[in-house]
Amino acid sequence: MGTAPTLAVWKFASCDGCQLSLLDCEDELLAIAGRIRIAHFPEASRATVEGPYDVSLVEGSVTTPGDVARIHRIREQSRLLVAIGACATAGGIQALRNFADADQFRSVVYARPEYLSTLDTSTPASAHVPVDLELHGCPIDRRQLVDTLTALLAGRKPDLPGHSVCFECKARGTTCITVARGVPCLGPVTRAGCGALCPAYGRGCFGCFGPAAVTNTPALVDRLRELDMTETDIGRVFRTFNVLAFAGGGDDPSQ
Amino acid sequence: MSTLLRSLGPLVRALHGQGYRVVGPTVRDGAIVLAELDRADALPYGWGVEAAPGRYRLHRRADAAAFGHAAGPQSWKAFLHPPRSPQWTADRTADGFTVTEAPPDSTRYAFLGVRGCDLRAIAVQDRVLGGADGGYARRRRELFIVAVSCTEPADTCFCASTGCGPAAGPGYDLGLTELVDGDRVRYLVEVGTPAGLELLTQLPTEPAPVDLVEEAAAAVAAAATKMSRALPEGDLRDLLAGSHDAARWDDVAARCLSCGNCTMVCPTCFCTTVEDVTDVAGEHAERWLRWDSCFDLDFSYLHGGPVRTSTRSRYRQWLTHKLGTWHDQFGESGCVGCGRCIAWCPVGIDITEETRALVTEAEEA
């Protein structure tokens, strides 16, 4: 056996929730720490080991010129780069700025906006560097994170489905809340991986995993209207966690 | 000779007494689902269903019928062909690794309330999955089936046009027809197998009067006339074979979400993929079989990419297999007319309407 593979965890514009999912692994965390060397993870330890790293987990979106330089540096130092969470994979909630005037925000929010160095857009890691794997969600699914790290250790393909959340509702035996109760749900256009958590508790999926590998969002929007969802609410539900991804990186889907 | 049963309580108790896990319809989460039943009281007495494309609602009935409803959100395949089942495990040893086959599932199921459409669907899956001596074959061998003929189809039903109902059979151990008179429910029983006869002898029964037998037959016959939907007549295998380039595929692709719900509620869709699980320590591995769907982009992934990249091609694959090439593969149609794909499609795409549109397009060509 050679030396243990090294893992680095990096934070960009984000709430830290996805990194905390790693700490939340509890039982598995000890086993993971026994197989890999955690080389850079400020949320867990001040000790830092210089790169290169075998695996980098990147949380957060790129929102400043400094971020752009840093994501390139991380890419150069990482054998595998794994983007984790809606911010790192789709720009996050903060990508709402992409559809607004960032100068206006700067002037309204900050007393001295000239001190700010920020970009007009919030973008995912993949907009700047090649990304090897993406774990979706706000936050990511803990089991998916453990499975991915385990898969990388074993040299197998991680189980990261591209199909809809409906697959997971059906597998766990959840009765479709849209069909049986008329609850608006983004499940049919949202990527699986959460285990269909929200519909199991009677709440419509709000798309935090972003779009499935194939979607027909206009057809679902027609259905949401039939279910008496207002145009404002339809706009909001698609604009929350994965606005850039649901928009296909272009137009706002609710327009 | 037909037999009359005044309550299903003794039937459920007798099945439990023979070591069966009894699965049947029960009300949960706003639907009549299939679940394990502790006792006959758990059946949906007095509940009815209103189903339409993309819509399903429960309502209270004026009578106490337990089977006054049609297909619900699941089919029996959830038990015979579960969404996820273990295949084998592997463990590292000092000089390599050992592989252990998953222990045989010894569950003995008794299904209570299998409709004509679903009885045929089980027979269809038997031809697909029953050959190898795997989990499906074992569960199927042990299965006891209490079928119930349909007297009240839903708006989404079309089993009369597929020849699978509303009368249930053959293939059951015991076949029931529910006779409802206000709060009073009785069951006319037919015996299908020696195992069914043996169970029936343990129950408190009485000979059925001729007028009740006639009443039951009339109620089932009337159910066939209550269905507003039908698959088109004629050779659908030829229709689908000649519809490869139909414009209708673009039309349906504009509405289809490609979400896969139709395939997962379909009682005959059987496709699976494998999922590998390893432990963090690298000492233990597992392989699981899980449902997959031709609507999943990864389903047609060959070297380098998926073959069916458009929704048009995926919907076409599903319908062409279901109604067309299923005949070439298994000698029959893959559709039994249960209507689940119509009710549980979030946007209400109707298989009978899509097929009729293909007929019209072929006629106009």
Min Cα distance B95 → chain A (Å) is 15
Domain locations along chain A: 6-154, 165-246
- Of A23-27, A58-62, B297-301, which gets the smallest average pLDDT? A23-27
Tell me the two tokens of residue B13: 């108790």
B140's enclosing H/E stretch is helix B135-142
Let me know: does A139 contact A107? Beta carbons within 8 Å: no
User: Is B296 buried (19+), middle (13-18) or exposed (0-12) by CB count in 10 A?
Assistant: buried
Give the C-alpha separation, B179 to B2, whole Å: 13
Let me know: does A97 contact A105? Beta carbons within 8 Å: yes
Tell me which chain A residue has its CA closest to the CA of residue B284: A154
The tens digit of pLDDT for each residue in A103-130 reads: 898 889 899 988 989 999 999 999 999 9
User: Is A172 buried (19+), middle (13-18) or exposed (0-12) by CB count in 10 A?
Assistant: middle
Min Cα distance A107 → chain B (Å) is 42
Across chain B, mean pLDDT equals 95
B184 touching A (Cβ < 8 Å): no
Give the C-alpha separation, B232 to A80, whole Å: 54
Tell me the two tokens of residue B104: 């045989």
Residue given tokens 């309502």 in the structure block: B59
Q: What would the mean pLDDT of B279-308 be, rounded to a whole number?
A: 94
Let me know: does A252 contact A245? Beta carbons within 8 Å: no
B36 touching A (Cβ < 8 Å): no
Question: According to the model, what pLDDT value does residue A2 have?
Answer: 54
Question: According to the model, what pLDDT value does residue A248 have?
Answer: 57
Please indicate whether, in this complex, the C-beta atoms of B281 and A35 are within 8 angstroms of each other.
yes
Give the C-alpha separation, B11 to B60, whole Å: 25
Nearest Cα to A4, choosing from A29, A30, A32? A32
Select from A175, A177, A209 the residue whose CB has the most chain B CBs within 10 Å, as the one to mutate to test that interface.
A175
- Of A68-72, B132-136, B155-159, which gets the smallest average pLDDT? B132-136
Select from B58, B81, B279, B280 the residue whose CB has the most chain A CBs within 10 Å, as the one to mutate to test that interface.
B280
Is residue A78 scored above 80 in pLDDT? yes
Domain locations along chain B: 3-225, 236-364
B346 vs A31, A32, A223: nearest CB: A223
* Strands A6-11, B21-28: pairing kind: unpaired
Give the C-alpha separation, A254 to A3, whole Å: 51
Please state the ipTM of this predicted complex. Answer: 0.95
pLDDT category at A253 given cuts 50, 70, 90 is very low
Give the C-alpha separation, A192 to A212, whole Å: 7
Half-sphere exposure of A135 (CA within 13 A, CB side): 29
Q: Between residues A196 and A44, which one has the greater pLDDT?
A: A196
Is residue A1 scored above 80 in pLDDT? no
In sequence order, what are the beta bridge partners of B185? B180
Select from B33, B69, B155, B257 the residue whose CB has the most chain A CBs within 10 Å, as the one to mutate to test that interface.
B257
Check whether domain A6-154 has CATH 3.30.70.2740, yes or no: no
213-272 in B: which are within 8 Å (CB) of A? Answer: 253-261, 264-265
Return the ∠ at Cα B30 (arms to B27 and B32), rounded to 5°: 40
- Of A40-49, A230-239, B223-232, B308-317, which gets the smallest average pLDDT? A40-49
Question: According to the model, what pLDDT value does residue B106 have?
Answer: 80
List, in order, residues 6 or more apart from B226 with CB less than 8 Å away. Answer: B152, B153
Residue given tokens 């849209």 in the structure block: A178
Give the C-alpha separation, A49 to A38, whole Å: 8
The tens digit of pLDDT for each residue in B263-278 reads: 999 999 999 999 999 9
